[in-house]
Amino acid sequence: MNKNSQNNTENKNTSNIDLSIVSLGSILLLSIVIAIVTNQEWSKKVINSSFDFITSEFGIAYIVILNVSLVFLCTLAFGKYGKIVLGDTNSNKDYSDFSWASMLFCTGIGGAILYWGATEWVSYYQNPPYSLTPRSDEAIIWAASYGAFHWGPITWTLYTLPAVAFCISYHHKKIPILKLSAACGGVLGEYSTKWPGKFIDLFFIVGLIGTSATGLAFAVELTTSSISQLTNLQDSKQMRLMVMLIVTLLIAFSVFKGLNKGIRILSILNARLALLIIFFVFIVGPSAFILEMGITTISHITSNVIKMLTWTDPLQRGDFVENWTVFYCAWAIALGPFIGMFIAKISKGRSIREVIFGMMGWGSLGCSLFFIILGNYALELELSGKYSVVNHVNNLGPSSAIAAIIELLPLGPILLALLALIGVIFAATTYDSASYTLAASSCNQLEAEEDPKRVLRMYWAIFLGLLPSALLFIGGLETIKTATIMASFPILFIYVVMMISVIRMLKTT
């Protein structure tokens, strides 16, 4: 290559980076991190007051968007547009069904599924919905059901809508831009590349980074609890920050290797390791109880799904809806555009119907396995009196309880080491995908066969570790969980824009 050609290539690569989005996103993130670290008490108050305001005044909006999105996706999948194949008419699928399902599941869930899968029922058991008596038999059934519900229909509906919007704009309409503004192009038109569109892209970056902090912190805490249980070392902030550093480096390495050599391989490995550990728990644990309670859980959710989808607690008898259902809606909405962007990148050759049912089906099934097997194993320990999981969670936290009950199984120390490894890889597979999509959204153009520049992927991979580290530093997981609501709020209204945009893009085919 001669010198002029090399200069032209460098100029082209540089001009393809949306410097306004990269610089504004970076400045905003650094400002938030500095404010949190230097004004810890003030930051806690602002985050908590924002949570109270948004959930009390706009909690109903999250429930409405969830239900409208679900009806919209089902109508689209069963309608004439559901048959549309993404890409060219003869496009082959880039990935096998298992690889595709592994990547979408690991991207959409991360280490938080291990954190909550075994212990989320504890909160519902002690503070059940619908003003039920705590620790009653009825509370047990609802406690066993709500985790799989929150991580099934709620989460995957709100992940699937932006995935469909990105798939249509990127593969069907052939718009070579992988940004949230492009997915809203049916409404924004030419303004998708101007400042109204750039604001949407900025909201996407802030929402993704803010919500990434939640899942990344869950995975880190689970890993440090496993290490602490194995080695008797204290689970300290220093240990968590060290694990955060290791995870960040692993994310950077994965995105450095790229989509096929990094993210795909880690996702498949992690899916297999996770399936191995939960099926081992099923085989050596209380198999009959797990199976019976699992069947009861599925039946209970099926019978009450409309009630669970639409319950808003209008009489304000408790805070279950705000603390759990609205929180999960907010988490999924903030992460949804990121999941959707990544799924669009790996879904060429699949039909719109296949994307919708594949995401909602495989995603919900995978999550249900964790809640049914890990959750019911822990529940049986509590109900049988073999181990007080509830007291352990109340006194030492969920991650410590998970490590303790895993160690009770045969080959406990080996399983604990495997659990720590899975926690790290789960975090890496989710957030290397996040780094990839942040890089993609920072490009002015990105063809279907093209990857974002490696330096851009590495840049966002390192940046992703800053906010969760800062939030862990000031207040632990509750502060991080609350921050998720704030990150999701602007994107809530963009979901309406995406639905209108999908209809317009399909009608102008």
Kind and range of the H or E element at 286?
Answer: none
For residue 261, what pLDDT is reported? 62
CA 324/CA 366 separation, integer angstroms = 20
CA 350/CA 340 separation, integer angstroms = 14
Q: Determine the angle formed by the axes of helices 454-464 and 19-38, rounding to 10 degrees.
A: 20
For residue 475, what pLDDT is reported? 56
**DSSP class per residue in 192-256:** GGSHHHHHHHHHHHHHHHHHHHHHHHHHHHHHHHHHHHHH-----HHHHHHHHHHHHHHHHHHHH
What are φ and ψ of residue 52, in 5° steps? Answer: -60, -40
CA 489/CA 30 separation, integer angstroms = 20
Largest distance between two CA atoms of the chain = 77
What are φ and ψ of residue 443, in 5° steps? Answer: -100, 140
Distance of CA 229 to the CA centre of its chain: 27
Give CA angle at 432 (477, 155), nearest 5°: 55
**DSSP class per residue in 470-501:** HHHHHTHHHHHHHHHHHHHHHHHHHHHHHHHH
Joined tokens for residue 30: 């650094």
Taken in order of first residue, the domains within the chain and their CATH numbers are 18-507 (1.20.1740)
Residuewise pLDDT in 10s, the chain (509 residues) = 444 444 443 344 445 788 888 888 888 777 777 777 777 777 777 777 877 788 778 889 999 999 999 999 999 999 999 999 988 767 778 888 888 887 787 766 666 677 788 899 999 999 999 989 999 999 999 999 999 999 988 999 999 999 999 999 988 888 888 788 888 988 988 888 787 888 888 888 877 776 766 666 677 777 888 888 888 788 777 787 788 777 777 766 766 666 556 566 766 777 778 788 888 999 999 999 999 999 999 999 999 999 999 998 887 788 898 888 988 898 888 888 888 888 888 898 899 999 999 999 888 888 888 899 999 999 999 999 999 999 999 998 888 888 899 889 998 888 888 888 877 777 776 667 777 778 888 888 877 677 788 788 778 877 776 766 666 665 555 555 666 677 788 889 999 999 999 999 998 86
Residues in contact with 165: Cβ distance below 8 Å, sequence separation at least 6, in sequence order:
183, 184, 340, 498, 501, 502
For residue 160, what pLDDT is reported? 95
Give the residue from 242, 243, 224 showing the smallest Cα distance to 234: 224
CA 124/CA 141 separation, integer angstroms = 10
**DSSP class per residue in 47-62:** HHHHHHHHHHHHHHHH
For residue 9, what pLDDT is reported? 38
Q: Which amino acid, one-letter code, is at 432?
A: D
Contact 122, 391 (CB under 8 A): no
Contact 152, 364 (CB under 8 A): yes
Residues in contact with 75: Cβ distance below 8 Å, sequence separation at least 6, in sequence order:
none
Q: Report the b/e string of 183-193 with b at 16+ CB within 10 A.
A: bbbbbbeeebb
Q: Is 130 left (phi over 0), alpha (psi -120 to 50) or beta?
A: left
What are φ and ψ of residue 176, in 5° steps? Answer: -80, 45
Q: What share of the chain is helix, strand, coil (3-state, %, to 5)?
A: 80, 0, 15
Contact 464, 251 (CB under 8 A): yes
For residue 108, what pLDDT is reported? 66
Which burial class, exposed, middle or buried, applies to 274 when counting CB atoms under 10 A from its CB (0-12, 13-18, 19+)?
A: buried
Joined tokens for residue 496: 């309406």
What are φ and ψ of residue 395, in 5° steps? Answer: -90, -35
Joined tokens for residue 65: 């968007």
What are φ and ψ of residue 66, in 5° steps? Answer: -55, -50
CA 412/CA 389 separation, integer angstroms = 17
